[in-house]
Amino acid sequence: MTLSRQEVAKVGMLARLALSDTELDTMTSELSKIVGFVSLLEKLDTTQVEPLAHPLDTQNVFRDDIPAPSLSTAEALQSAPRHDGECFLVPAVLGESGAA
């Protein structure tokens, strides 16, 4: 399967990528190859293969969640450049402070 230049340009626009004509040509070629490789998987007979959640036969490898002593609020805020005694103060990234 090959992708058209227009399809790649649309995906680039949706991803907010400003692709030059050269980049668009390169990406069209490379993405078409990737889609072609993935389409090869459709030819595999997987009727006898059980669905997997993970390719490796692993069990839960996480440690037990055991409560342990932690930093106090004062200790955690000690190195913070700005705090109000209770919370870290950081610049607003989604607009004015307090706006939802």
pLDDT at position 96? 65
Cα separation, 87 vs 76, in Å, equals 9
Q: Cα(2)–Cα(31) distance, rounded to whole angstroms? A: 8
Q: At 97, is the pLDDT very low, low, confident or very high (cuts 50, 70, 90)?
A: low
Integer angstrom CA distances of residue 68 from 64, 65, 86: 12, 9, 21
- Fold classification of 5-43 is Histone, subunit A (1.10.20)
Angle at 97 between CA 93 and CA 98, to 5 degrees: 125
37-84, pLDDT tens digit by residue? 999 888 889 899 888 877 777 777 788 889 999 999 999 999 899 999
Domain ranges of the chain: 5-43
- Whether the per-residue pLDDT at 100 is higher than 50: the answer is no
pLDDT at 41: 87
Q: Do the Cβ atoms of 62 and 51 come closer than 8 Å?
A: no
